Structure 1
Amino acid sequence: MKKKKFSFGEFFQGLGKTFMLPVALLAFMGLMLGIGSSFSSPSTIDKFPFLDHTFLQVIFRFMSTIGGFAFTYLPLLFAMAIPLGLARYEKGVAAFSGLVGYIIMNLSINFYLTETNTLAKLDNMREAGQGMVLGIQTIEMGVLGGIIVGIIVYLLHKRFYTIQLPDAFAFFGGPRFIPIITSLVLGIVGILIPMIWPLFAMGIQAIGDLIQKAGIFGPFLFGSGERLLLPFGLHHILVAMIRFTEAGGTEVVNGNTISGALNIFYAQLQGGGPISPSATAFLSQGKMPTFMFGLPAAALAMYHVALPSRRSKVKGLLISGVLATFVTGITEPIEFLFLFIAPLLYLFHVIMTGLGFMVMSLLGVVIGNTDGGVLDFLIFGLMQGTYTKWYLVLIVGVIWFVIYYLVFRWAIKKFNIKTPGREEVIEDDVERSAEEMTHGKKGRYDAARILAALGGKENIADLDNCVTRLRLVVNDMSLVNDAELKACGALGVMKLDATTLQVVIGSQVATVKNEIERIMEGDHNE
């Protein structure tokens, strides 16, 4: 078999995908933390005295404690999730090796600091850039330390998981060799990190300085950049950098130095202290004008300009997309309806998203978390009290709704953009179009047909999914039939390079991926 060339597109696509596993857990834990902290805060109890009950308060404090789990152990979660997500075989071994590697690396750092007499005293760790990780005093690298371990473990796994050792050592060959080689390599890495970490810190600080020095434009740059990277699936990397590293700011919370906008927010929320506007400037509040109001307005405009005879056929598609963005902050089902056919409208959307971040920051709104939907608005805005200025989201949101609706309606009609319900209809597709428009709602995707449109089983080198997309590596991109994939209900097809492919499905993507895998494995029964 011809050896496949290394593809940066494939690697970074996969790396961005692996971020979704810990981030999804973090989002859920954040909701628990938000509910627990809001109902146990003195201001909420003052407004709702019936909450001041011992049993209820124990439950709310328990939720806050559990909700803080992902924040506390986030670097370890990344160290395990990255090799788990990138490895194509023996995924369990890859994740286990990530755990081993992360602990070994920090033990080695501790050893180096101890041997060189640079291990700071406990009351001076913060100033020395050190902290406690799993009970080990080490260099405070935050989530970047977990990412470094995850990538190294993946590369070791890819190189050695099929290794054959001499008969005398055969027991240690194959997958069992991965945690062994991980221990050795990450042990050495742990010795080297204290020597080279200042360079990493300078790079992160440079990005942070660029955003911080941008002043009021910092949130704008972040919000716009995230939307620009979204079509390529690389936005998770920028988001992770701002949320979890010094690039998103550094503050002292309850005597601990916390880096990353989301880390700062959760630490302040858990500690009951004031919420930092400079941290929330990069969080949920910036998305809310666009996610809760702008994109639903765009969907309404697309419905109104659809051909009258086809409005009923596109209604289900648009409603499901609106619900996804309004409730959960999943925007692709709406964005990919106009991204490919109207790039200038998407550029308008990019700018408006960045402006949403900037305006919320200028108005002093302090609503954190990750999703930007109505759940974040209620839990981290409304329930936390008026100091969050949640009411300003509604005022700005109405303005965003009007602007989006007028711009989308005007542009679609002016330039005859073929948004859903306006495209030319092929005669053979007339009868089935109504059913296909509601694929995502009913979950009735034809996995066999999608697999055929991807070039068949033999053309799939790797198959996975994120929140809304199939993420694939194919052997021959020319065998991929874009038109057929869209006829199957796909919202968009992204070809990142010669072998790396993304197919935007929507919220049912996991079901589609699992069904395709069953067909490929020969376990599918008609």
Structure 2
Amino acid sequence: MITSKKREGLGSKVFITQLKKFTGGIMPTLSKLSKAFLLPIALLPIAGVFLGVGAAISNAAANQSFLWYVGTLFNKMGDVAFGNLPILFCISVALAYTKDSGIAAITGVVGFLVMNGAQSALIHPALDSNGAAILGSDGRPAFALLWYGVINSGLITNNVGIQSLNTGVFAGIFVGAIAAWSYNKFHKTQLPQAISFFSGTKLVPIIAFFSVLPLSFIIMFIWPLLGAGLAALGVASGNLPMGVSSFVFEIIERSLVPFGLHHVFYAPLWWTSAGADIQATVNAASLEKFAGVVFSNGRDLETLKSTINDYISGGKTIGLGDQTAMTWVLGNLNIINFTDLQKLGLNLGQYQAGKYGFMMFGLPAAGVAMWLNVPKENRKNVMGIYLSAGFTCFLTGITEPIEYTFLFLAPWMFYGIHMPLAAISFFFAGFMGTHITMTVSGGFIDYIVFGVIGFASGAMSVMSAFGILIVSVAMGPVYFFAFYFAVKKGNVMVPGRDGSADAQLATKADFKESKGLNLDGSKIAKADNNEEARMVKARKLIEFIGGEENIIDVDACASRLRLTVVNPDLVNKEGIMSLGGSTGTLVRGKNVQIVYGGEQEAIKPRMIQIIDEQRAAKKVV
């Protein structure tokens, strides 16, 4: 007879089993979404350089002079990338979920155009019974949309030349998902003979053409309210004590790094009005409160409001979100600058600038601290590993070689030391008003482009541009002593110390790879001149992941090979590490992430090729 306690125990086990199944399925999906975001992000570094340098040149040159044209050319080349992020996200999401299908990318573009076209048909200027323009709460001519009657001009923008709702990157992400679904579902469909011309891939954009219509109407139903709510959130964050929003942001963002989901979290804050809305912030400011306050170019608040709203009324768009708003300011310093916005309570850079503090000096100092915990007789052997990882972090902001060393060996160091210190770096960067944007990393290269050049262009004050150096220099010794004593007192077996087999194995692979050797002492064959060695490694990886029958999907992001598997228990982490080149393997449900830092781009296509060949061979047999 089953007692009530046993029944409760069985119920708990069933619940836990179902929860594991759900999380095991959702992780690969979110992982792919995170990877999709990296595609447009990869374009932003060069676009940011052109935007910042172009603004600096054009602002310093005489109007319509040769240098002015050169600067304006650079500026607009960079601005067009940031101004069209929604459609770039649409395409990248479509690619990420369809194994880089070009058909899906074209379908995403079609869907994006149709969705915005449907909205444009139902958006028109709001007029009263006498045909006069109705003004919105921002004091500008408003628009009418369906039953809403009147919505502010800030909710309307030009998406690739189509007047539609300003949804930031959100709508593009959903359209990309619809494009991917259309491709995966219908690209092999065979229609009846009479209409067979439209079979297969030709059917995909047709399906998406109609599928985005419900999405377009859903957006029109909810966005006037949701968009206004996000804008209010972006404005309200400016009323918090400076640094608080930055601190909370980094606690959450850093905690998601081990799962590769931090891109999903910061996307709304970087690229939608939840992170910043310049027009809403300016129009929300009280004329009485700011009476007598002088803004850039000697303007008062009323003149500044008029300048911003006239810009938008001319069909132009101001970037929404912490990052896109900052890049827009860099390209339009004749309209507004960071000091103006800080006076109004918008602390641009609050979700970005703090990274410089621990990227440039904090984590490299942690690497030095770990190295000094290595016995003196072993330090010379592993010095190259620590120095290269620390310099890479300082220069480019790529943290994984250092972060994953202590994350895998002692997770408490990541969550108990690194995450709080990173949040403190964000707090002080926000508190000091260091309005510095970045591409995706926050290393020294980004600092030169956006900090030094940004200061030279007149975009920011001395404290805004160079205050982050104070934070960075201060975080260096804090990280050093925290990690030095944590490793020492916690007896953490960082690479180079005598310790467990796992720690020694990973360290040995990293060290020998830095010397150009495999674990067996043979030279690592370069992909350029030894295709066979790459194929052998890909085959061994498939074997250690449980064979081709255990692999559902193979993908890669900026630094990791990402796989979805049937049974995670079949994954042989020790075997994977023994192949060399990897700094760690993370298994979360059915999602497997192998950290490489570059080699994953060479491994991914070879694994896909081998898996396809193995499956084809089984069909023949």
| TM-score where L is the length of structure 1 | 0.88
Q: CA deviation at 1:416?
A: 0.6
Q: Does 1:461 align with 2:552?
A: yes
1:411 aligns with 2:486: yes
Cα 1:425–1:7 change in 2 (3 A) is closer
Out of 446, 470, 493, the position equivalent to 2:585 is 493
Distance 1:120 1:75, change over 3 A: farther
1:397 equivalent to 2:472? Answer: yes
Local SS of the residue matching 1:138: strand
- Worse-superposed segment, 351-360 or 52-61: 52-61
Which residue in the other structure is 2:424 paired with?
355
1:155 CA drift (Å): 2.4
Answer yes or no: is 1:364 the counterpart of 2:397.
no
Q: 2:447 pairs with 377, 380, 390, which one?
A: 377
Residue pairs, 1:175-324, within 5 angstroms: 175-198=201-224, 200-201=226-227, 204=230, 208=234, 214-215=240-241, 216-252=243-279, 254=308, 255-256=311-312, 257-272=318-333, 273-275=336-338, 276-277=341-342, 278-324=346-392
Q: Give the paired residue count.
A: 511
Q: Give distance in 1, aligned partners of 2:598 and 2:432.
A: 33
Q: Does 1:435 align with 2:453?
A: no
Residue 461 of structure 2 is matched in structure 1 by 387
Task: Please give the per-residue CA displacement for 1:12-56, whole angstroms capped at 9, x wherever unaligned.
Answer: 1111110000111123211221222233333xx7xxxxx999544
Q: Deviation string for 1:68-89 (max 9, x for gaps)?
A: 111111101111110111113x
Q: 2:269, 2:183 → 1: CA distance?
A: 29
Query: Match of 2:104?
Result: 94
2:572 — aligned with what? 481
Q: Distance in 1 between matches of 2:161 and 2:572?
A: 53
Alignment of 1:135-146 (within 5 A): 135-146=161-172
Note the alpha carbon deviations across 1:464-488, whole angstroms, 9 max, x for none: 1111111111233222111122233
Amino acid at match of 2:77: I
Q: Distance in 2 between matches of 1:163 and 1:117?
A: 48
Give the match for residue 504 of structure 1: 595
Structure 2 spans left out of the alignment, 5+ residues:
1-20, 144-150, 280-306, 313-317, 519-523, 527-533, 615-621
After alignment, is 115-124 or 65-74 more displaced? 115-124
Higher deviation after alignment, 165-174 or 310-319: 310-319
116-125 or 92-101, larger mean C-alpha shift = 116-125
C-alpha spacing 1:363/1:114, structure 2 compared with 1 (3 Å): closer
Larger Rg: 2
Query: Offset at 1:509?
Result: 2.7
CA contact (8 A) 1:219 1:354 kept: yes
Q: Are 2:493 and 2:500, in contact at CA under 8 Å, matched by a contact in 1?
A: no
Q: How much has 1:398 moved relative to structure 2?
A: 1.8
Query: Could you tell me whether the CA contact under 8 Å between 1:317 and 1:440 is conserved in 2?
Result: no
Contact 1:38 1:379 in 2 (8 A): no
Superposed CA RMSD: 3.3
Output the amino acid matched with 1:21.
L
Q: 1:388 to 1:78 in 2, by over 3 A?
A: farther
Give yes or no for contact 1:440–1:506 (8 Å, CA) kept in 2: no
Task: Decide whether aligned partners of structure 1 residues 56 and 203 sit closer, same or farther in structure 2, where only a CA change above 3 A counts.
Answer: closer
What is the distance in 2 between the residues matched to 1:294 and 1:84? 36
Q: Is the 8 A contact 1:439 1:489 kept in 2?
A: no
Deviations 1:370-397 (A, max 9, x none): 3211112111112222715233222222
> Bigger shift: 473-482 or 11-20?
473-482
Cα 1:458/1:242, change in 2 over 3 Å: same
Q: What corresponds to 2:618 in structure 1?
A: none
Counterpart among 3, 9, 13 of residue 31 in structure 2: 13
Distance 1:501 1:443, change over 3 A: farther
C-alpha change, 1:173 and 1:212, in structure 2 (3 Å) is: farther
One-letter amino acid matched to 1:342:
A
Alignment check: 8 A CA contact 2:92 2:105 kept? yes
Q: Decide whether aligned partners of structure 1 residues 434 and 365 sit closer, same or farther in structure 2, where only a CA change above 3 A counts.
A: closer
Aligned to 1:48: none
1:39 aligns with 2:39: no
Q: For structure 1, list consecutive stretches of 5 or more residues without a partner in the other structure.
A: 46-50
Are the structure 2 counterparts of residues 392 and 193 from structure 1 closer, same or farther at C-alpha, using a change threshold of 3 Å?
closer
- Output the amino acid matched with 2:584: G
Gap change, CA 1:472 and 1:383, over 3 Å in 2: same
TM-score, length basis structure 2: 0.75
For 1:470, what is the secondary structure of its paired residue? strand
**Residues of 2 paired with 1:339 and 1:113: CA distance?**
51
CA shift for structure 1 position 289: 0.8
